Amino acid sequence: MFGYILLSKANANKQETKEYRAHYCGLCHVLKEKYGKKGMMSLSYDMVFLELLLSDLYDQERETVTESCPVHPLSRHQATFTSASRYAADMEILLYYYSLLDNAYDEKKDIKKAEEYKNYAENVSRLYPREAKAVKDGLIKIHEEEEKNNKDLVYMSSLFGNILGEIFVWKKDDFFAPELRAIGESIGRFVYIMDAWCDKEKDKKKGIYNPIPEGMDKDEVHSLLLESAASASETFERLPLDEYVPILRNILYSGIWVKYEIKEKKND
């Protein structure tokens, strides 16, 4: 996906960083196991957050392996994964495939690459029809609105929020499904706005669509981001979590601002 929902290393201690990394590598491990090298390429931080959240909430049993990966063959590292990693990996493939398709439409690139992921995405869609429908319909809707040059940023971000809301609901009939949906909704909005904000100059240069309306200033964008982050956190704090709370809090209160702060610094 986009990679905005990540740990702030500056604000994490060694243990937290190590654990986070083990889960990142765990998701990578599962992606490789299920989808080979192609799967690994879809890996993103955002789904590590979802994996940690679901593993904690539903007390998923964890497996840890020590392995060396093709990237750094000399150093062995830990990879921790759970059933939630498998779910997150499937969702990752789904989102990745549709984002490739989107690129194929928009900029006439990735057409061949999208073709390579088609089978994987179709398999995932059979296993998770509810999520697949949300992703497909949602992205089509976003695409249509972009074509119309819709600049209602809140509305546009809510379309992406709906997609993540559905994806965050792992078990549809579970008691905490509404909370997970709400967190996904808020985070989806956050990601969409942040992505638009980070790409603003680039899109302008290229002359392509960007949802941030002309004249909307930094403070307004910041306040929309804050609304979403605060809303996600408020719901998060109502969940009975006990395993990864420090890491998840780090992400929600600090990590998700990492890229915003970096952009700030660049502009200064």
Partner 1 sequence: MTDPYRTLGLSPGATDEDIKKAYKRLAKKYHPDVTGNDPKAAKMMQEINAAYDELINHKGSSSYHYGGQQRSGYSGYSGNSGYNSSYNSQNNSYQTGDDEVTNAMRAAVNFINSRQYWQALNALSSVPSSKRNGRWYYLSSIAKSYSGDNIGAKGDIYEALRREPQNEQYKTFRDRLENTNTTYNSYRTTNYGKSNSLGGFLSCCLPCLIYNLLCNLCC
**Which residues contribute to the site for partner 1 (CB under 8 A)?**
6-11, 17, 20-21, 24, 28, 37-38, 40-41, 43, 58-59, 69-72, 154, 158, 161, 165, 175, 178, 181-186, 189, 224, 226-235, 238-242, 249-250, 253-255, 257-258, 261-262
Query: Which residue lies nearer to partner 1 by CB, 74 or 207?
Result: 74
Please report how close the Cβ of residue 207 comes to partner 1 at its closest, in angstroms.
Answer: 26
Q: What is the Cα–Cα distance from 73 to 71, expressed in whole angstroms?
A: 6
Distance in angstroms between the alpha carbons of the first and the last residue of the chain: 28
Q: What is the Cα–Cα distance from 53 to 27, expressed in whole angstroms?
A: 13
Neighbour count for residue 31 (Cβ, 10 Å): 27
Do residues 90 and 49 make contact, with C-beta atoms less than 8 angstroms apart?
no
Please report how close the Cβ of residue 184 comes to partner 1 at its closest, in angstroms.
Answer: 7
Please report how close the Cβ of residue 106 comes to partner 1 at its closest, in angstroms.
Answer: 19
Please report how close the Cβ of residue 154 comes to partner 1 at its closest, in angstroms.
Answer: 6
Please report how close the Cβ of residue 187 comes to partner 1 at its closest, in angstroms.
Answer: 8
Query: Which residue lies nearer to partner 1 by CB, 18 or 147?
Result: 18
Q: What is the Cα–Cα distance from 225 to 27, expressed in whole angstroms?
A: 27
Query: Which residue lies nearer to partner 1 by CB, 11 or 207?
Result: 11
Q: Helix, strand or coil for residue 150?
A: coil
Q: What is the Cα–Cα distance from 1 to 194, expressed in whole angstroms?
A: 13
12: left (phi over 0), alpha (psi -120 to 50) or beta: beta
Query: Which residue lies nearer to partner 1 by CB, 147 or 178?
Result: 178
- DSSP letters spanning 78-116: EEEE-HHHHHHHHHHHHHHHHHHHHHHHHHS-SHHHHHH
Please report how close the Cβ of residue 185 comes to partner 1 at its closest, in angstroms.
Answer: 3
Please report how close the Cβ of residue 7 comes to partner 1 at its closest, in angstroms.
Answer: 7
Q: If residue 67 lies in a helix (H) or strand (E), which one and from where to where?
A: strand 63-69
Query: Which residue lies nearer to partner 1 by CB, 199 or 207?
Result: 199
Query: Which residue lies nearer to partner 1 by CB, 210 or 254?
Result: 254
Query: Which residue lies nearer to partner 1 by CB, 147 or 226?
Result: 226
Total number of residues shown for the chain: 268
Q: What is the Cα–Cα distance from 73 to 6, expressed in whole angstroms?
A: 25
Q: Residue 81 forms beta bridges with which residues? A: 63
